[in-house]
Chains A and B, each alone.
Chain A
Amino acid sequence: MATSVDTLGPPSTSVGVIGWLRKNLFSSWFNSILTIICLVLIYSVVSPLLIWAFTSARWTVITENLRLFMTGPYPPDQVWRVWLVLVIVSAMFGISASVFGGTIRTFGTWLAAGYLLLALLPFGGDGRVWLLANLAILVAGFLAGTRLQKWRAWVVAAWLVSFFATLVLLQGFSGSTVLPEIGTNQWGGLLLTFMLAVVSIVLSFPLGILLALGRRSHLPAIKIFSILYIELVRGVPLVTILFMTQIMLPLFLPQGMRVDNVVRAMAAFTLFTAAYMAENVRGGLQAIPGGQIEAAQALGLNNALVTLFIVLPQALRMVIPAIVSLFISLFKDTTLATIVALLELLGVGRSVLAQPEFLGLQTEVYVFIAAIFFVFSYAMSFASYRLEAALGVGKR
Chain B
Amino acid sequence: MVSQIVFVIVVALVAFFLYSNVSSAMRQRGLVAGFDFLNRESGFEIGEGLIPYTSSDTYGRALLVGLLNTLLVSVVGIFFATILGVITGVARLSSNWLVNRIAAVYIEIFRNTPLLVQLVFIYFGVFVKLPPVRDTLEFAGAFYANQRGVFIPRPVPSSGFNSWLGFIAAGVIAAGVLWVILSRNPKTRVTLYPLIAPVVAVIVLPALGWLLAGQAPLGLEFPERGKFNFTGGLALSPEFSALTLGLVIYTAAFIAEVVRGGLQAVKRGQIEAAHALGLNEIQILQLVVFPQAMRVIVPPLTSQYLNLVKNSSLAIAIGYPDLFNVGATTMNQTGQPVPVIILVMAIYLSISLFTSLLMNIYNTRVQILEK
Contact = CB atoms under 8 A, between A and B. Distances in A.
Interface of A: 24-25, 27, 31, 34-35, 38-39, 41-42, 219-222, 225, 232, 234-240, 243-244, 247-248, 250-255, 328, 332-333, 335-336, 338-339, 346, 350, 353, 360, 362-363, 366-367, 369-370, 373-374, 377-378, 381
Contacts of A350: 120
Interface of B: 3-4, 7-8, 11, 18, 21-22, 24-26, 28, 94-99, 102, 108-109, 111-118, 120-121, 124-125, 128-129, 310-311, 313-314, 316-317, 324, 328, 331, 337-338, 341, 344-345, 348-349, 352-353
Given A238-B310, A339-B316, 11 more contacts: A236-B348, A239-B316, A240-B324, A247-B341, A248-B337, A248-B338, A338-B317, A346-B116, A360-B129, A362-B120, A381-B112
B18 A252 contact: yes
Given A34-B96, A239-B313, A378 B112 contact: yes
Contacts, number: 152
B324 A239 contact: yes
Given A219-B3, A221-B8, A225-B11, A244 B345 contact: yes
Contacts of A244: 341, 345
A374 B345 contact: no
A244 to B, nearest CB: 5
A252 B21 CA distance: 5
Contacts of A374: 109, 112-113
A41 B22 contact: no
Nearest to A370: B113
Given A240-B344, A244-B341, A336 B116 contact: yes
Contact of B26 (A251, A333, A336): A251
Contacts of A25: 96-98
B352 A236 contact: yes
B336 to A, nearest CB: 10
A23 B344 CA distance: 55
Given A362-B124, A377-B112, A219 B4 contact: yes
A24 B11 CA distance: 62
A27 B128 CA distance: 44
19 contacts: A24-B96, A31-B95, A34-B94, A34-B96, A35-B98, A35-B99, A38-B98, A219-B4, A237-B311, A240-B313, A240-B348, A243-B341, A248-B341, A253-B21, A346-B120, A353-B124, A362-B128, A373-B112, A374-B113
Contacts of A225: 7, 11
A321 B188 CA distance: 47
Given A240-B345, A338-B317, A362-B125, A377 B99 contact: no
Q: Which of A253, A335, A338, A363 has the most CB of B within 10 A?
A: A335
A377 B113 contact: yes
